[in-house]
Structure 1
Amino acid sequence: MTSLVSLRGIQKTYDGKQLVVKNLDLEVSEGEFLTLLGPSGSGKTTVLMMLAGFETPTTGEIVIAGQHMTRLPPQKRGIGMVFQNYALFPNMSVAENLAFPLEVRKLPAAELRDRVEKSLAMVRLTPFADRRPSQLSGGQQQRVALARALIFEPRLVLMDEPLGALDKNLREQMQYEIKQIHARLGVTVVYVTHDQSEALTMSDRVAVFNDGIIQQICPPKELYERPGNSFVAGFIGENNRLQGVVRKIIDDDCLVEIAPGVTVRARKVGVHATAEPTTLSIRPERVKISPQAGEVDTVIAGEVESVLYHGDHIRAHLRGLGPTPFVVKLPNTNGAAATLVAGASVSIGWASRDCLALDLMEA
């Protein structure tokens, strides 16, 4: 695919000492939905602000659609922007908020009216054209902000935690709507969030940031199924961690000793040699209770500490498999869940393909 955005050798410091973004090289393809994901202070929002022109890189260059933008002010970049706080003009109606970017660009009145009408229809707000932002719900205000960012037909739209202020149900609804609009228009989106579930749901690719560096960038499924290091594994979804030492390497797998006489087979991701310490990562939903012979590659005994009912699934916390509780997640329809009572001894197991040997991380 054709690259629309290039960030080359980007570094950013605010105090001349500490780098908040370090040696960043990033390409964003035309029509892509790329999410920058990471904890607070990881550098993701700073990258978005540099793309928008609100911050200037300390070193490096930004190229958008073949044009060097590094020193260009925000108003000359032709980028749509959606913020968490909506940033709507309170003294203007919905239609007037939408018309404003077109008036700045001096579009003919007939074309302006046509675009406003189409934008209102796109976000299903035609009946609310004459209302002020204060007369709208949070979700309606966010749809206005989205329509305003798209109305002048930018090739690139930046979104900074746009759904952070919405409740869970509305947030999920807006995720769907934003993806539908993206699919229809084919606009390029760079989206910032700290919500890993949101990133997995919405993105073509996800760039996971930590300490000013992209730890891994890839499609959501690959990120979840094959995290590149222990930080990504811990930040994306939920995982159990067991620490051990590599005793043998077998092609793409390795044998890891997690306790005297207890060895586990795992996929080799972040280890390179025998006698190397490693952190094993196993997703709770990949663990089986009382597995049948041949169903799994590893079987370990544990004791049920507690059982939590979550409606569609049941979560059991087991002890005896490390310093922290080991979590097993089972569908509510699973008959094995009936055996999970506090104090019970159980056997659990998993396939070696679902156990990743990563770089060492404190459990």
Structure 2
Amino acid sequence: MSESNDAFVRFINVQKSYDGETLVVKNLNLDIAKGEFVTMLGPSGSGKTTCLMMLAGFETATSGEIMLNGRGINKVAPHKRGIGMVFQNYALFPHMTVAENLAFPLQVRKVSKAETEQKVQRALDMVQLGHLGNRRPAQLSGGQQQRVAVARALVFDPDLVLMDEPLGALDKNLREQMQYEIKHIHESLGVTVVYVTHDQSEALTMSNRIAVFDDGVIQQLAPPPDLYERPLNAFVAAFIGENNQLHGKVVEIKGDDCKVQLDDGSIIHALKVNVDKVGDRTTLSLRPERVAIAPPEGQYPNVFEARVEELIYLGDHIRTRVSLCGTDEFIVKIPNAHAHASIARGETVQVGWAMEDCRALDAS
């Protein structure tokens, strides 16, 4: 996806097959800079966790080379790679205290007792658990156990930390709190983090860049704003955030303006992104918050009458489902303070959007 001689982590033409026939990771090329927070995001079976396990050394690449800080590590044992790991199930030793859990990776590395005590206390303070060193994991909440797992991964000052769905077992509020804590720890330490999740909001919140996986291939690698605002294909558009998709055929292309005839006959002006020529089938991608209710006349090239089918109050906005252009699953997000927030179910309203906000992508 990128080429850099000073990349800290490199996947070079890496492939992985478990049965010798089906590739679960296909010709992966990925560079990660030192100090970067990169998230591997995708649905189950997309290959993201397999990539993480190959980097950790728990899986072996079928072909290709994995580099860490300039050296090949394909044949280096996991415990000799100097990598911190955080798992979803915490993997804490139940018979040890919190402090003993953190001391273990230091003892394995033959760190002196005095330095071990110093590093353990520093790591506990980093995750705001400095007063709980004498407790055992069973005496901690889920969120506290996860903090201990993060602290243990960081206690021996690794240059690289791998996190595999680390917040998956936590409830929503705690998960969001831990996202910010991990993000702040990363920013303060400057450690390189490779993070695996299927949770898009988690990836958007925490990452410098996100690699969206599907079918063993990175579909797009980009910073969160680029990924959300400028998806390169229909899969990424659908997977990241809520997204209206309309299907049709390209009937005219003038520069970036791509005129598309939908399956119901409607004509839409879209931004040409991932189509080649007139006659191509395309999926149009349009974010619900980019659609305006009752737009001023002449403001947008795309204006349609829509019937309001459903209104769901969500506090800061009203999620409005309407019928237009042959679908009754079209979503508009109306800010709660908006003058049109009082529309009613069954009403007919005009909706409109800019050409630039409607992306003409591949037909899949």
1:287 aligns with 2:291: yes
Distance 1:243 1:204 in 2: 32
Deviation at 1:321, TM superposition (A): 2.2
Q: 1:356 aligns with which of 349, 354, 359?
A: 359
Deviation at 1:253, TM superposition (A): 2.2
Q: 1:21 aligns with which of 15, 22, 25?
A: 25
Which moves more between the two structures, 224-233 or 63-72? Answer: 63-72
Instruction: Map residues 85-100 of structure 1 onto 2, 5 A cutoff.
Output: 85-100=89-104
Deviation at 1:309, TM superposition (A): 1.2
Deviation at 1:135, TM superposition (A): 0.5
String of CA shifts for 1:307-360, please: whole Å, max 9, x gaps. Answer: 111122111111132345101111111121212x22111110011111000001
Q: 1:47 aligns with which of 51, 74, 79?
A: 51
Q: 1:129 aligns with which of 133, 153, 162?
A: 133
User: Corresponding residue for 1:330?
Assistant: 334
Instruction: Map residues 195-210 of structure 1 onto 2, 5 A cutoff.
Output: 195-210=199-214
Letter in 2 for 1:289: I
1:31 aligns with 2:35: yes
Distance 1:120 1:325 in 2: 49
| Matched residue SS, 2:342 | helix
Letter in 1 for 2:157: E
User: Corresponding residue for 2:143?
Assistant: 139
String of CA shifts for 1:106-129, please: whole Å, max 9, x gaps. Answer: 111111111111111111101101
Distance 1:144 1:294 in 2: 58
Deviation at 1:61, TM superposition (A): 0.9
User: Corresponding residue for 2:185?
Assistant: 181
Distance 1:112 1:37 in 2: 35
Instruction: Map residues 39-78 of structure 1 onto 2, 5 A cutoff.
Output: 39-78=43-82
| Matched residue SS, 1:338 | coil
Normalized against structure 1, the TM-score is what? 0.97
Superposition CA RMSD, Å: 1.2
Distance 2:121 2:223 in 1: 35
Distance 2:40 2:272 in 1: 27
Letter in 2 for 1:245: K
Distance 2:230 2:316 in 1: 26
Instruction: Map residues 141-220 of structure 1 onto 2, 5 A cutoff.
Output: 141-220=145-224
Which moves more between the two structures, 255-264 or 130-139? Answer: 255-264
Instruction: Give the paired residue count.
Output: 360
Deviation at 1:256, TM superposition (A): 1.0
Distance 2:258 2:149 in 1: 51
Distance 2:150 2:193 in 1: 12
Letter in 2 for 1:26: L
